[in-house]
Structure 1
Amino acid sequence: MYFNIAERLLNTTLSDNHKIVSDYAAEVQDQLNKQASISLKTQIPSLNQDRIDGLTNRISSEVSFKEIQWILGEPIINFTQNIINDFVNENADFQYKTGLKPKITRTLIGKACKWCQGLAGSYSYPDVPKDVYRRHERCRCMVDYIPGDGKRQNVWSKAWKSEEENGKIEARKQIGSNIFSNSTPAPFARAVEVAKSGLDKDIAWRVTAYEPEHYVGSKLHVSPGGSTVAISTTGDIISVCRADNDNVRGTDLLKLAVENGGTKLDSYAGNHLFYTKNGFEPISWCKWDDEYAPEGWNGKPENIIFYKYTGNSKAELKPDDFYKRISASSDYDEAEKIRNEAIGGKS
């Protein structure tokens, strides 16, 4: 690609991108400063022209655009993320110079990589690692910015919270206040994989992580801590996975799903106690079939039980008690049909 074409394309697009993101971040920062009783002017970081020039030079170095079109994907996303990183860094520096004592805390989520492990910890500004604000693809680490007045701000969610508040209570309030459908198929599929990777291998296989196309049309939710839950177009609750170290409980995810239209689900028998205690009544079941064993299966067969939500938490707490009362269906499809007919015939 010719240099002048690449320069016009990237300079205009990324400059506009910087302005849009910075304006939005400034508006949020102004509101948060007001809530935290901080009477300081929000700082706007300058455009990182060197980075734009680097992208321009890289694109113009190839004769064929097809050889370099990947740069318009993840590198552009990373450029946008760094606008926020620069914004946080500049405002932390400014508030430090005005007498506040900000701290930056990076907390690991799930099975973090060695790079993230090396960045985890609490730091008194300005003595922070240069990469503390950064995160790689699929990274779920949490970074909190604490100005030093008893309030803290999450670097990525921009949510203030008192240091003394109980983390679990705050997380449950936050998940309940979010718009439920806050993700799209591809990011949600990645979030499920990340959350699942933090589970013990003996239970992780019970979580089904579908390909993105399976989630098209579904309501998809990812909590601030990386936990996932989705509701299909037919009301099935799927991909329920609490991320390791998330303050949100599995019970919170189910409650949120029910409040947003979830009416039924099916799961392996190892999850039976969890679902019955959360108001899901077992209706039908089918026997385990090695042919359909999921990836990572621990080798111990578990039947599949189909539930409908009734709010009744006094159903059989042991799968064997349920099996004695209800005969097994011939296969998965029949068990699903029986359950669906029990809630009005919805497929």
Structure 2
Amino acid sequence: MRAKDFILKAHKNSIEKGSFTWSSPSNIALVKYWGKKENQIPANPSISFTLNNCKTTTTLSFSKKENSNEFSFEIFLDDEKKDDFKPKIETFFKRIEAYLPFLKDYHFKIETSNTFPHSSGIASSASGMSAMALCLMSIEKALKPEITDEYFTQKASFLARLGSGSACRSLEGDMVVWGKHNEIEASSDLFGVKYPFKVHRNFKNYNDTILLVDKGEKQVSSTIGHNLMHNHPFAIERFKQAQNNLSILIDTFKTGDLKTFIEIVESEALTLHAMMMTSMPYFILMKPNTLEIINKIWMFRKATNSNICFTLDAGANVHVLYPENETETVLEFIKNELVAYCQNGHYICDQIGFGAKLINQTV
């Protein structure tokens, strides 16, 4: 698929008004995407677990308007009008207008809610933009019913990427690859694809407990962080490392080798933050409690021979990953040892999920 293949061609149907509601999850990258080229193209491939409980539900209501000269929309988060979100949606609409030429024909009401704190390092932009892209693709499907399910999903992922890169990994599950990789034939820089190879039972129903170390806004946005990879002294080696780590994980997922999985996932998390700390300007998103939690996890793993490990997104919160058969002992450890380092003792228990769902439609 090329970008131009996603341009909506002539269609026979016409719709005056309607609404679609989609629920889409967040995801947590195992091999991290950090650094991008023009048009939201990733500098390296990534692979993620799709989450189940951390999700965004978005209702997109639309009605035909007379004036088609400009975008018209209003945004609500948890029933509260959010005009400060407008610039981001405006930018998104500008990026995708060539592919969805009907955007200026309608006034849109966007109503969205998250099951987790906004801007807290649980990739609300991933779940939010993927839900939005799916709603918009539902309008395209209503205008042009003959499009296939495969095309629908690919284009929704393609559009979501133009809103937030990692959003293209949230539509399906349980693992999604985004970015071209030599060993994954269907992989693409333009959209995410379901991981196509055998996965050992060790990685089925994997758990992710998210420790909310800091629920506030990040002091440096991911967009700025990605841009700092341009001219970064270690960027080229980092991109090679990501390619290699994904190759290692392909074999690891086949064999069920949890020790190698832990090494790659934790190394990727620390490398992500090392890139931030060695950018110019440099910045640190981890907090003291992030490091306390990491050290506690290492001590617990050594003492118990557990397969617990951690990963991080571009923020302070810690994703604690562990196999399903260790749920009871790891949750006990989290409650006894780690909750003390969470803001107001808050954490979210999640596990691998299988992607977005259409909740409601009115056309």
Q: Which range, TM-score by smaller chain?
A: under 0.3
- Structure of higher RCO (CA pairs closer than 8 Å, 6+ residues apart): 2
TM-score (norm 1): 0.26
TM-score (norm 2): 0.25
For the pair shown, the structure with the greater C-alpha radius of gyration is 1
